[in-house]
Homo-oligomer: A and B are copies of this chain.
């Protein structure tokens, strides 16, 4: 897998809290890793979610997730979690994310994928949780 400059990556270390009695990362926890990387991707665009909520009254809420679990990650693994925007509209955005092994490569030099997901995320009013139109400056910052 080759990364172009437009793919954001965030390092995530696997701790005891992330693992389960199977000795591997518990399947729900990739959604935590993905959320951390999305948050840091937004921060890299100048978007702090708490500040954004204070200013606009809106928050992001995931509406759809599709996940493929390719190979288990284990305690102490050093992962890179990516975030790549694939669609952006007034009501929602779509982001593709991967949890990649930071240590291992195949003989051909490829990065190994632990989990990948496609997340659709809506913009809602934080008080009512009803869908809302994304502020123009937010939409522009995303694109």
The verdict on A45 contacting chain B, using a C-beta distance below 8 Å, is: no
Cβ contact within 8 Å between A50 and B75: yes
**What's the tally of chain A residues with a CB closer than 8 Å to chain B?**
40
0 or 1 for each of A15-35: is its CB under 8 Å from B? (1 = yes):
111011111101111011001
Cβ contact within 8 Å between B48 and A76: yes
The verdict on A68 contacting chain B, using a C-beta distance below 8 Å, is: yes
Interchain CA distance A65-B66 in the complex, whole Å = 6
Cβ contact within 8 Å between A20 and B19: yes
Most buried by B among A26, A49, A76: A26
Cβ contact within 8 Å between B21 and A35: no
The verdict on A85 contacting chain B, using a C-beta distance below 8 Å, is: no
The verdict on A7 contacting chain B, using a C-beta distance below 8 Å, is: no
Which chain B residue lies CB-closest to A15?
A: B36
Q: What is the distance, in angstroms, from A116's C-beta to the closest C-beta of chain B?
A: 11
Interchain CA distance A68-B74 in the complex, whole Å = 28
Interface-forming stretch among A55-63, A104-112, A134-142?
Answer: A55-63
0 or 1 for each of A55-88: is its CB under 8 Å from B? (1 = yes):
0000101111111110010111000000000000
The verdict on A91 contacting chain B, using a C-beta distance below 8 Å, is: no
Q: What is the distance, in angstroms, from A37's C-beta to the closest C-beta of chain B?
A: 10
B residues within 8 A CB of A72?
A: 61, 129
